[in-house]
Amino acid sequence: MKKSVINAIHEILQREFVLEKPANLSFGHYATPIAFSLAKELKKSPMLIAEELCSAFGSQPMFKEVTAIKGYINFKLSETFLDTYATWALQNEERFGSDRQECSILLEYVSANPTGPLHIGHARGAVIGDSLYKIGRHLGYNIVSEYYINDAGNQVDLLGLSLFLAGREHILGLDVTWPEEFYRGEYIIDLAHIAKAELGSVIFEKEDNIATLSVWGKDKMLELIKSNLADVGIVFENFVSEKSLYDQWDASFQKLQRNNKTYQEGGKTWIRSTELGDEKDRVVVRDDGRPTYLAGDIIYHDNKFQRGYDQYINIWGADHHGYIARVKAAINFLGYDENKLEVILAQMVSLLKGGEPYKMSKRAGNFILMSDVVAEIGSDALRFVFLSKKSDTQLEFDIDVFKQEDSNNPIFYINYAHARINQVFAKAGKTIEDVRSIPLVGLNEEAQNLLFSALLLPEVLEDAFSSRQVQKVTEYLKALAASLHKFYNENRVVGSMDEDKLLKLLAMVGLSLRVGLKLIGIRAKEKM
């Protein structure tokens, strides 16, 4: 809809302009402040310029009114235009808001170490990433989702050691001296019992088996992670193993050397990351010849950029903020455009239950498991709440709110709006097909505003994706549901003179609620 409006206005103005939405819809559906930017050029007041330009839009059937208000040109769309768009949308639900974009994107998110179950910190990035992925695909972007498996570092060796010691203590009944650093939580003991069942208790007898346990445990944890993600509707297209990429380290390292971006000091190899804004240069090869954690990121991003996407998006935890400069520097040193990489940071989550801090999981040690929260409030509520604020702001919520069946629970409130529309159709004994071709003309201003709001979904999706702020979708859905409930409470639908028109209006609202929820991974409820 917005693109059509922009094209129609551009046809008249023949120059670039900004299009805004007035805070008060009584002024118009859209407005442009172009008269202010023309004032100096034309040596006239913006109010006079706006009034003169308004007369040029008389031949545009798209607009019901074009008026000048305090220097702004305000556009009110015609009922015929809104009805035509609504009719098309009701006939093409899967294509509503969809387009074709000439842009390829590799989107990496979650990438949690495969050493334990997913906790709520992982969950926020997972839900944000998956929703961006779904919205991007719907908008027509060639977007691919990817999970980077950190399976080459000390953490996997530590997992194997933790399983080995747990098996010796809890299965073989031996006295064990635990190191200062190890993986805690009942899941390690449970995993050791599974190892006994699959590999035999002999696996815990010799230290030589720790390497085998490391690989076996990592694979089991990855299976669990995939299952946790599937429980909230997240399935990745690609999984890339860090370990499998280390064969490419020599080639990546040679690129850095050829570009004179490394140096030796103290027996270590460093990259000159301060050249591109990092607070200090970083070690990429230790004094014993082993590549560092950063080296793994360098290989991975070299591999990514070799695949030739137009954009690369990483979603990291907020604690990785310091990694951005060094990774971008490395990408530049490899010979790529580091500006093609965008990093979205997901802040921490604080969880309450009845106003008190949510208890940590004994199974996972000092973490709140994503699976525990899903068991409490369900996948839909978890997804919605994790999308309710910008990713770079801290999130605190009380799970008891999402068990309530009232307006305090936003996902209940939105689903109730969708179910209420279905209930109205059932009460009228009609289907969407019965009213789809009814012209939406002669409606009161409140109904027209509700229709316009329902038709805004495509531009909300585009704005949410381009700004990487998926909370704009949840905000829109809450506002649309509130408008629907208000309209329904104040207007008789079934048995009214405009029954069919109002049913079509409600059908359009239902479509936007349904599609919007679907693109953030939630299936709208048909009845409640």
Contact 191, 220 (CB under 8 A): yes
Q: What's the farthest any 2 CA atoms get from each other in the chain?
A: 91
pLDDT string in tens for the chain (528-residue length): 888 899 888 888 888 989 998 888 888 999 999 999 888 888 889 999 999 888 888 778 889 999 999 899 999 999 999 999 999 999 999 999 998 888 999 999 999 999 999 998 899 999 999 999 999 999 999 999 999 999 988 899 999 999 999 999 999 999 999 998 999 889 999 999 999 999 999 999 999 999 999 999 999 999 999 999 999 999 999 999 999 999 999 999 999 999 999 999 999 999 999 999 899 999 999 999 888 889 999 999 999 999 999 999 999 999 889 899 999 999 999 999 999 999 999 998 888 888 888 887 766 667 888 999 999 999 999 999 999 999 999 999 899 998 888 888 999 999 999 999 999 999 999 999 999 999 999 999 999 999 999 999 999 999 999 999 999 999 999 999 999 999 999 999 999 999 999 999 999 999 999 999 999 999 999 998
Q: Is residue 486 situated within a structural domain?
A: yes
In a domain, 514, yes or no: yes
The answer to whether residue 141 is domain-embedded is no
Find the length of the chain: 528
Angle formed by the axes of helices 445-454 and 79-91, to 10°? 40
Q: Is 0.85 surpassed by the pTM of this model? A: yes
Of 432, 414, 412, nearest to 502 by C-alpha is: 432
Q: How far is CA 477 from CA 12, 414, 429, 452, in A?
A: 34, 7, 27, 14
Last residue of some domain: 32, 60, 77?
77
Q: Which of 77, 109, 124 is the last residue of a domain?
A: 77
Report the pLDDT value the prediction gives residue 500, as an integer from 0 to 100: 96
Q: What is the DSSP string of 277-312?
A: T-SS-EEEE-TTS-B-HHHHHHHHHHHHHHT--SEE
Instruction: Please report whether residue 53 resides in a domain.
Output: yes
The CATH number assigned to the domain holding 469 equals: 1.10.730.10
Domain residues for 503?
A: 410-518
φ/ψ (deg, to 5) at 209 = -85, -5
Q: Residue 135's closest CA among 472, 380, 462?
A: 462
278-to-319, 325, 352, 408, 481 alpha-carbon distances in Å: 16, 5, 37, 45, 46
Q: CA-CA distance, 55 to 395, in Å (whole number)?
A: 49
214 part of a folded domain: no
* CATH number of the domain bearing residue 24: 3.30.1360.70
Cα 234 to Cα 520: distance, rounded to the nearest angstrom: 11
Is residue 115 within 8 Å of 157, Cβ to Cβ? Answer: no
Question: Does residue 472 sit within a domain?
Answer: yes
Residues 6 or more apart whose Cβ sits within 8 Å of residue 293 = 153
Cβ-in-10-Å burial (0-12, 13-18, 19+) of 326 comes to buried
- Using the structure block, give the residue that is written with the tokens 């709520």: 120
Residue 237: inside a domain: no
Asked whether residue 273 is assigned to any structural domain, the reply reads: no
Which of 77, 109, 126 marks a domain boundary? 77
Under DSSP, the state recorded for 367 is B
- The total number of structural domains in the chain stands at 2
